[in-house]
Amino acid sequence: METPGKTEKIIALLHEKSQVKFLVNENTQKVFREFKNAARQLYQQVKKDLPGIHFNMSCAFRDKGDFEAELKIASDLILFTMHTNTFQFPRDHALMQTSYIKEDPTRSFCGVIYIYNYLADSFKYNRFNDVGYLIGRVFVNKDNHFFVEGKRELGFLFNNFSGEPLDAAKVRQIVESAVLYSIDFDLLTPAFDQVKEVSVQDMMNYSSALSLKTGKRLGFRFEADRD
User: CA 158 → CA 35, 125, 127, 161, 227, distances in Å?
Assistant: 15, 36, 34, 8, 15
Kindly state the average pLDDT of the residues 53-57: 57
What is the pLDDT, as a whole number, of residue 185?
Answer: 76
Average pLDDT score, the chain? 82
Domain that holds residue 18: 10-187
- Contact present, 209 and 141 (Cβ < 8 Å): no
Confidence of residue 6 (pLDDT cuts 50, 70, 90): confident
Within a domain: 195: no
- pLDDT for 31-52, tens place per residue? 999 999 999 999 998 888 776 5
pLDDT of residue 11: 83
Q: Is residue 141 part of a domain?
A: yes
Confidence category of residue 206, pLDDT binned at 50, 70, 90: low
Q: Which of 99, 107, 29, 101 is nearest to 69 (CA)?
A: 29
- Is residue 76 in some structural domain? yes
The tens digit of pLDDT for each residue in 121-153 reads 888 888 777 888 899 999 999 999 999 998 877
Domain count, the chain: 1
Residue 172 lies in a domain: yes
Tell me, what's the pLDDT at 196? 63
What is the percent of the chain with per-residue pLDDT over 90, rounded to a whole number? Answer: 44
202 in any annotated domain: no
The answer to whether residue 88 is domain-embedded is yes
Asked if residue 224 has pLDDT above 50, the reply is no
For residue range 80-117, what is the model confidence (pLDDT) as tens digits? Answer: 999 999 999 889 988 999 999 999 999 999 999 999 99
pTM for this entry: 0.81
Distance CA 42, CA 177 (A): 12
Residue 220 lies inside a defined structural domain of this protein: no
Residue 217 lies inside a defined structural domain of this protein: no
Neighbours of 89 (CB within 10 A): 18
Q: What is the DSSP string of the chain?
A: ---HHHHHHHHHHHHHHHHHHHHHHHHHHHHHHHHHHHHHHHHHHHHHHGGGT-TT--EEEEE-STTEEEEEETTEEEEEEE-SS-EE--TTSGGGGSHHHHH-GGGGEEEEEEEEEEEHHHHHTT-TT---EEEEEEEE-TTS-EEEEESTHHHHSS--TTSSPP-HHHHHHHHHHHHHHHHHS---PPPHHHHS---HHHHHHHHHH--S---TTTT---GGGG-
Q: Return the bridge partners of 11, or none.
A: none
CB atoms within 10 A of CB 7: 11
- What is the full DSSP assignment across 120-146? HHHHHTT-TT---EEEEEEEE-TTS-E
Picking from 193, 180, 184, 197, the residue whose alpha carbon sits closest to that of residue 219 is: 193
Q: In terms of Cα–Cα distance, which of 82, 83, 69 is closest to 36? A: 69
- The Cα–Cα gap between 77 and 70 comes to 7
> Quick one: average pLDDT of 70-80?
92
